[in-house]
Amino acid sequence: VTQMSAVYPELAGKVAVVTGAAQGMGATFAEGLATRGVHVVGADINEEQMLATAARINTDLESNALADKPGRVVGARVDVTKPDEHELLAQLALKEFGRVDFWINNAGIFPFALAEEITPEQIGATLSVNVEGVLYGAQAAARHLGPGGAIVNMSSVSALRVRKGRGAYCTSKAAVAHLTESLAVEFGDKGIRVNSIAPGYIDTAMTKWVQEDPIALASALDAVPLHRLGSPEEVFGPLLFLLSDSARYVTGHSIAVDGGSRH
| Chain residues that interact with ligand NAI, rule: CB under 6 A | 19-20, 22-26, 44-46, 78-81, 106-110, 129, 154, 156, 199, 201-202, 204-207
Residue (196 or 251) nearer to ligand NAI, CB: 196
Residue (41 or 154) nearer to ligand NAI, CB: 154
Q: Cβ distance 233 to 32 under 8 Å?
A: yes
**Identity of the residue numbered 260:** G
Catalytic residue among 8, 136, 169, 201: 169
Q: How far is the CB of 137 from ligand NAI (least distance, A)?
A: 10
| Active site annotation includes 201 | no
Strands (DSSP E) found in 23-167? 39-44, 73-77, 102-105, 150-154
Q: How far is the CB of 194 from ligand NAI (least distance, A)?
A: 16
Q: How far is the CB of 147 from ligand NAI (least distance, A)?
A: 27
Residue (58 or 81) nearer to ligand NAI, CB: 81
| Rg (the chain; Cα; Å) | 18
- Alpha carbons 135 and 153: distance in angstroms, whole number: 10
Report which of 105, 71, 107, 76 is spatially closest to residue 91, judged by C-alpha positions.
Answer: 76
Q: How far is the CB of 151 from ligand NAI (least distance, A)?
A: 14
Residue (68 or 233) nearer to ligand NAI, CB: 233
Classify residue 258 by burial, with Cβ atoms within 10 Å: 0-12, 13-18, 19+. buried
Q: Cβ distance 106 to 25 under 8 Å?
A: yes
Residues acting as catalytic residues: 169
